[in-house]
Amino acid sequence: MSKYNEFFKLLPTLEEIPTTSMPSPEEYLKIMYNVIEDGYDEILCICMSSGTSGAYQSAVLAKNYFFENNPDSSVKIHVVDSLSMSHGSGWLILKSAKLLEAGYSFDELIEFNETYKTRVKHLLCVDDLNNLIKSGRLTNASAFNW
């Protein structure tokens, strides 16, 4: 049995479901400094939806902190709220990488992400709503309406 199948077989037996946590502003800031030290002067950070994660807000806080402490920096940093999770943000990231390879500028990549993030369509299919309720992603009342 694969690890994937083992995980989903175990999931219904758990009283508390596994959770995730967002990266802290400090973690984003550390990555930004590492990228700059590696010689890059443009950072495009594509985050999961601000509606379901605090990742976007953490990245924005890190960006603001960076510029407060480096007001003369010529580094460009843009943080995108992908308005998506999983495949939606992944598609924006992969498409951005391909566009970068094709010669798109930093500003063109920003424009692409800010335009197309609203055009990503989502389809979600689950066996039942229990884990969405347990994790707080769905309320009992809204699950009842399904």
Q: Which of 135, 83, 70 is nearest to 113 (CA)?
A: 83
pLDDT score, position 57 = 97
Distance, in Å, from the CA atom of 60 to the CA atom of 81, rounded to the nearest integer, reads 10
State CA 8 to chain mean position distance.
Answer: 23
Q: What is the pLDDT of residue 137?
A: 72
- 114 to 44, 57, 139: CA distances (angstroms): 12, 16, 30
Supply the pLDDT for residue 143: 66
Q: Which long-range contacts (CB under 8 A, 24 or more apart) does 15-21 make?
A: 16/134, 17/131, 17/134, 17/135, 19/135
- Ordered per-residue pLDDT tens for the chain, 146 residues: 788 788 878 878 888 877 778 899 999 999 999 999 999 999 999 999 998 889 999 999 999 999 999 999 999 999 999 999 888 899 999 999 999 999 999 999 999 999 999 998 877 777 778 777 777 777 877 766 65
- Please tell me the distance from the alpha carbon of residue 94 to that of residue 80, in angstroms, as a whole number: 14
Residue 38 DSSP code: T
* Residues 87 and 118 sit within 8 Å (Cβ to Cβ): no
